[in-house]
Amino acid sequence: VGPKNPMVLKALIGALSDVDARVRHASVQALGCLQDQGAVGPLIAVSLRDRNPGVREFAANALGYGFSTNADTVVALMAALK
């Protein structure tokens, strides 16, 4: 994924609610690659609530690997799990 662009981030976050699990999965993958802090909340929501277990797992992995060095991400994920 190219340089950080707010419109790209917005489009990818919007794709997280697509009816097609393949689209949601691809969006999660792209957001994980971007590692933009604006994606943390939406990825947490997907990891907890997506109707497809594979998409939920992929979102959790994206958070764990893509954002693992950011303490804010860990705090946000822990708060979401409470």
* Mean predicted confidence (pLDDT) in 8-30: 97
CA 56 – CA 25 distance, rounded (Å): 9
Dihedral sign for Cα atoms in the order 72, 58, 19, 51: negative
Q: What pTM was estimated for this model as a whole? A: 0.81
Express each pLDDT in 35-70 by its tens digit.
Answer: 888 998 899 999 989 999 999 999 988 888 766 556
CA 26 – CA 12 distance, rounded (Å): 9
